[in-house]
Amino acid sequence: MLGDSVRAASIGSAVLERKGVLGKGLGFLIDLSLIIVCGILLSRLVWIVLAPASVVDLPDTSRNLSDRVDPGLIYQANPRILTEFNPFDRFVVETVEVVEEDAPETTLNLSIASIWASNDADSTFARIRRPDNSVGKFSVGDTVVSGVTIDRILSDRVILIRNGQREALYVSEMRVLGAVTPEGQPSIDPSPPSRLPSVGESGSTVSALNRSQNQQDRAPDNPGEPDLISSKSVTLGSLDEFNTAIDVLRRMGDDGRPEMVVTANTSADILDLVSIAPGDVLVSVNGRLFSEETPAELYEAMQQERVLTFVLRRGSQDFTRIITIEPGVGD
């Protein structure tokens, strides 16, 4: 027993030391097996790193689909189109202009202060003065007074719906001037009366407005524009005194741009005080053009201003009116 143990130990040491025939033979076999195992493991590792991902073979249906396409559905382009077609000489379908049916004039106690017409329905609105003398901004679909809504807003009138019936609210200047251009715009003579009313003739009303100063620089004599005051300054108690007293109409100017025209519906007292006349065109206020902004936008922007410099045009001449706002004036 003890001898067997000694013999096994000697064999093991002989193998490790590669001594003797037995040690060298067994050692060679062990080394060879270890090399083979390491080679297998190394090759497997390389395969795992370099091997492509698994691929699922799908049947190629493109050929089958092309075979099933109906030959009648295959369209071929005519090469003559590329040489003969002129995209700038196509037939354009004529659009039918919508004609507004005549509606009877309304008997409601309403008047149009101004109309801002646009191709965009969302930006089209009218400022309408109601029976309580308040002026509101209304768009299509809005209720002006109880039971009365706006159906359409045109350049010269507003179509109302009252008890299911359509009625027309015309700009008051149409009835005063009695003329309308072919485009439906009220015909307003830009030339003012032969002489503007004298400031001193306004009497108590001018005193109520309490003009604090009146600087007048008269322009050179012009037979076409008699007594045109090129510059004048007045003082009012609030912007609303001027805003509610003046009435304007939006129309297209000769240059194709919109312009705001003072109408005959403007208070005679404010015409006398500021020395303006129906037909005068409002060009700008404090550098902001009336042709680029709506009266409502300008009104909001001028709320905090204390000095308003208006540039107006009469015929071919520009002139200025400076309005100073002093709260409490006229109280």
Query: Would you write out the chain's pLDDT as a tens digit for each of its 331 residues?
Result: 444 454 656 666 766 676 777 767 777 888 888 899 999 999 988 888 887 665 556 666 665 555 665 555 555 667 777 677 676 765 555 555 555 567 888 888 888 888 887 776 677 888 898 888 888 899 999 999 988 999 988 878 899 999 888 998 888 543 333 333 434 444 444 433 333 333 333 333 333 333 333 433 444 444 444 468 888 888 888 888 888 888 888 777 777 777 888 888 888 888 888 888 898 998 888 888 888 777 777 777 888 888 989 999 998 899 999 988 888 765 5
- Residue 256's nearest CA partner among 316, 321, 185 is 185
* Residue 92 within a domain: no
**In sequence order, what are the beta bridge partners of 309?**
322
- Residue 251's nearest CA partner among 187, 158, 178 is 187
| Cβ contact 144:128 at 8 Å | yes
* Domain identity same for 231 and 171: no
* Domain identity same for 238 and 146: no
* Domain identity same for 23 and 140: no
Question: What local confidence, expressed as pLDDT, does residue 211 receive?
Answer: 38
* Token pair belonging to 95: 């659009």
* Domain identity same for 255 and 220: yes
Given the DSSP bridges, would you call strands 229-236 and 317-325 parallel, antiparallel or unpaired? parallel
Domain coverage including residue 165: 111-177
Helices 2-17 and 20-50 sit at what angle, rounded to 10 degrees?
Answer: 60
* Domain identity same for 165 and 215: no
Number of domains the chain contains: 3
- Distances, alpha carbon 275 to alpha carbons 235, 255, 290, in Å: 13, 26, 20
* Domain identity same for 37 and 136: no
Residue 235 CA to chain centroid, in angstroms?
36
CATH of the domain at 142: 2.30.30.830
* Residue 59 within a domain: no
Question: What local confidence, expressed as pLDDT, does residue 320 receive?
Answer: 92
* Domain identity same for 173 and 204: no
* Residue 301 within a domain: yes
**In sequence order, what are the beta bridge partners of 260?**
250, 282
Last residue within a domain, chosen from 122, 146, 177: 177
CATH of the domain at 227: 2.30.42.10
* Residue 45 within a domain: yes
Question: What local confidence, expressed as pLDDT, does residue 67 receive?
Answer: 60
Q: Which residues contact 37 (CB under 8 A, 6 or more apart)?
A: none
* Domain identity same for 37 and 126: no
Distance, in Å, from the CA atom of 56 to the CA atom of 234, rounded to the nearest integer, reads 90
* Domain identity same for 137 and 39: no
- Residue 199's nearest CA partner among 136, 270, 143, 147 is 270
* Residue 141 within a domain: yes
* Domain identity same for 204 and 173: no
* Residue 291 within a domain: yes
Can you list the alpha helix ranges (DSSP code H) found in 179-290?
A: 204-209, 239-245, 268-274
Question: What local confidence, expressed as pLDDT, does residue 193 receive?
Answer: 35
Question: What local confidence, expressed as pLDDT, does residue 150 receive?
Answer: 92
Question: What local confidence, expressed as pLDDT, does residue 181 receive?
Answer: 42
* Residue 36 within a domain: yes
- Residue position matching structure tokens 């795992």: 48
SS3 99: coil
* Token pair belonging to 212: 């604090």
Distance, in Å, from the CA atom of 207 to the CA atom of 235, rounded to the nearest integer, reads 11
* Domain identity same for 172 and 203: no
* Domain identity same for 220 and 159: no
- Residue 270's nearest CA partner among 316, 321, 222 is 321
* Residue 82 within a domain: no
The values of phi and psi at residue 193, to 5°, are: -60, 165
> Percent of the chain having pLDDT more than 70?
60
